[in-house]
Amino acid sequence: MAGKAAYASGVVEMLKEDHAKVKQLFEDYESADSQEQAEIAATAIFELEIHAELEEKLIYPAIREALDDNDMMNEAVEEHHLVHVLIAELKKLKPKDEKFHAKFCVLSELVKHHIEEEEGEMLPEAERHDIDWDVLEAAVMKRKEALMAKSSKKTGSKAKTAAKSRRG
């Protein structure tokens, strides 16, 4: 069984790194000026969209198949749905819009709660089950690279350009 947990660590560690990055972006947003907040929000949205797709298309189906806990998986999917709704609404607003800050703060709270449940319940439970972690990790990393390349050509380039101009 120890071997299975070792295999899981690649996928689980990637998820935890993504979680830490997004939580840091939310924290940075709170203390930033309005120009920086717009850039941080764009980066957070970019990161969340890629992360959510990996979980929804690859990771959650593999975990759902191995676990006998539809309630936990359905709740995670519903939380993702709400994240997508908030992101879609944020994309329609300008960062200077008074509703933008409120929506971004709600997104932050929702995502932090989701991360807490995922890291506290779902992932530890998944690691105890027989999932082909090697195959899952290969698929996730391949898809993540493709999504980042595709997104950086569209939305991500805006965030990267803004970050570069801020640095210098």
Is 37:107 a contact under the CB 8 Å cutoff? no
**What is the mean pLDDT of the segment spanning 69-80?**
95
% of the chain with per-residue pLDDT over 90: 78
pLDDT number for residue 1: 39
State the pLDDT at residue 155. Answer: 52
pLDDT surpasses 60 at 77: yes
Average pLDDT, the chain: 88
Distance CA 54, CA 65 (A): 16
Q: For residue 29, give both structure tokens.
A: 């947003």
Amino acid at 35: Q
The reported pTM is: 0.85
pLDDT mean over 18-45? 96
| 73 close to 60: Cβ distance less than 8 angstroms | yes
Q: What mean pLDDT is predicted for residues 65-94?
A: 96
Residue 76 neighbours by CB under 8 Å, 6+ apart: 55, 60, 114, 117, 118, 122
For the cut 70, the answer to whether the pLDDT of residue 159 exceeds it is: no
pLDDT digits (tens, 9 = 90+) for 80-132: 999 999 999 999 999 999 899 999 999 999 999 999 999 999 999 999 998 99
Kindly tell me if the per-residue pLDDT of 143 is higher than 80. Answer: yes
Residue 151: predicted pLDDT = 73
